[in-house]
Amino acid sequence: MSLKNKEIWFKKWIVGKQTYEQISAESGYSVSTLQRYFNVMLSKAPKLSYSQNKEVYLLIDGTYFSNEICLVVYRDNVFKQTQLYRITDGEHYEELKEDLENILNLGIKIGGITCDGDKSLLKAIRKVCPKVPVQRCLVHIQRMCKIWL
């Protein structure tokens, strides 16, 4: 498997949220082979560049994986650049607060934040950048409405 193909399958697993089984069927590689490749890729953190625009509009979301890993991503919505990410076991206030502080310490100005409305994240935002406008992600609102209805 070429490095480019590994990256494509890895992206489908991480961003596209496809399962090993789905990628295996599409790629022709076994689940164990894909797991081996992806574990190597997970062990090497990518180098991320951050946007130096006047303001970024962050999308903040955590994605949970079956092995009790949570990937929290802070992404600039305008230029589609990841500003920061954290691999952790959950969306915890202290870590979210630290991440927002680190983003500000990099010189990034936050113009607005869109998130899922997680209580610990909202608390961290109010603490670190209280004047930044926050809106709830429409996808998360729709999901909650479907649960309530």
Look at the block and give the residue holding tokens 């990099």: 106
Look at the block and give the residue holding tokens 């790629």: 27
The pLDDT value given to residue 95: 97
pTM beyond cutoff 0.75: no
Sign of CA dihedral 61, 69, 46, 8: negative
Backbone phi and psi for residue 108, each to the nearest 5 degrees, phi listed first: -85, 130
Minimum mean pLDDT range among 8-17, 82-91, 100-109, 133-142: 133-142
Which DSSP symbol is given to 16? S
The span from the CA of 128 to the CA of 76, in Å, is 18
Sign of CA dihedral 78, 81, 86, 90: positive
pLDDT, mean over the chain = 86
The pLDDT value given to residue 45: 66
The pLDDT value given to residue 93: 97
| pLDDT > 90 in the chain, percent | 48
Task: Render pLDDT for 47-92 as a digit per residue (tens, 0 to 9).
Answer: 655 555 578 899 999 999 988 899 999 999 877 888 899 999 999 9
Sign of CA dihedral 82, 60, 64, 67: positive
Cβ-Cβ contacts under 8 Å for 126 (sequence gap 6 or more): none
What single letter denotes the amino acid at residue 13? W
Written as six digits, the tokens of 88 are 């952790």
Average confidence (pLDDT) over 128-144: 82
Domain 56-148 fold is: Nucleotidyltransferase; domain 5 (3.30.420)
Task: Render pLDDT for 4-19 as a digit per residue (tens, 0 to 9).
Answer: 788 888 888 887 778 9
